[in-house]
Amino acid sequence: MRIYQCADYSSMSRKAASIIAAQIQLKPDCVLGLATGSTPVGAYEQLVRWYQDGELSFAEVKTANLDEYYGLAPEHDQSYRYFMQKNLFDHVDIKAENTHVPNGLAGDPEKEGAGYDHMIRALGGIDLQLLGLGHNGHIGFNEPADCYPVGTHLVDLAASTIEANKRFFASEADVPRQALTMGIGTIMNARSILLVVNGAAKADIVRAAFQGPVVPQVPASVLQLHPNVVLVGDRGALSKL
Ligand code: GLP
């Protein structure tokens, strides 16, 4: 695993964006696995700036997002589809049909999950998967559990995740209780992984994930078994490594 410690959020974001841009330049029709949450917002802003400056094109890029709240329509302003449109897709030359986010309104979540994994395989697999890190060690919405779920599936959100994410909703009661998420197997199948993390509040979980035992109770610890992981963090987040 390669670790880049950056001085602050903006240099962390630039570093993460440069790794994504390098992937696109190497393979213009690459498949990017994308993430939501507050951490990658700065990286997306940087990618948009490079696109606007003519340094980067998403014309051939394909994307598959990690997860989506179950029960939220794509137009809902807290859905992850909406997040991706506002933070990236609406500002670059990516083709709408090349962007994929699990359907939060799927009537049959099992079928949706299997279809999503099939779609990723049909695209040729994910070249670079961007990940954030939940305070409880979740990646995507793979919450601490007794085993690793393999494929894209419906998950009950942990109480701590509902608590952490309520800041984006009018009240805690409005936070969806379930989500569709790529499984650990889907994520581990990516050819390379870029995990971004910032803030001292995540220092303990970063240490547990990368220096602790590989256990499903700390979902991100499974990344220790992936052959091509880059961790990009600010000083605070990496302070306990
Ligand atoms: C959310 C998302 C994750 C994200 C994580 C951390 O619940 N499902 O993909 O990485 O929580 O979010 P943040 O970056 O806002 O701390």
At 36 the pLDDT is 98
- Ligand 1 in reach of 140 Cβ (< 6 A): yes
- Could you tell which of 9, 39, 79, 202 is best to mutate to test the pocket of ligand 1, judged by most ligand atoms within 8 Å of the CB? 39
**pLDDT confidence of residue 17:** 98
pLDDT for the residue 177: 97
Provide the pLDDT for residue 181. Answer: 98
17-41 pLDDT tens trace: 999 999 999 999 999 999 999 999 9
Rounded mean pLDDT, 196-203 = 98
Say yes or no: CB of residue 35 within 6 Å of ligand 1.
yes
What residues does each domain of the chain span?
A: 2-193+212-231
Tell me 170's DSSP state: S
> What ipTM score was computed for the predicted complex, to two decimals?
0.95
What pLDDT is recorded for position 68? 98
Provide the token pair at 176: 């969806």
Tens of pLDDT, residue by residue over 126-176, are 999 999 999 999 999 999 999 999 999 999 999 999 999 999 999 999 999
| Cα of 111 from ligand 1 centre, angstroms | 25
Rounded to an integer, the average pLDDT of 211-223 is 98
Nearest CA to ligand 1 atom 10: 132
Residue in 119, 108, 113, 88 with CA at minimum distance from that of residue 20: 88
CA distance to 34, 76, 100, 193, per residue, from 20 (Å):
10, 27, 17, 10
Q: Which atom of ligand 1 is nearest to the CA of 199?
A: 16
User: What is the Å distance from ligand 1's center to 36 Cα?
Assistant: 6
pLDDT confidence of residue 53: 98
Domain 2-193+212-231 has CATH 3.40.50.1360: yes
Alpha-helix runs per DSSP H in the chain: 9-26, 41-52, 80-87, 109-122, 159-165, 184-188, 203-211
How high is the pLDDT of residue 145?
96
Mean pLDDT of the chain: 97
Please give the model's pTM, rounded to 2 decimal places. Answer: 0.97
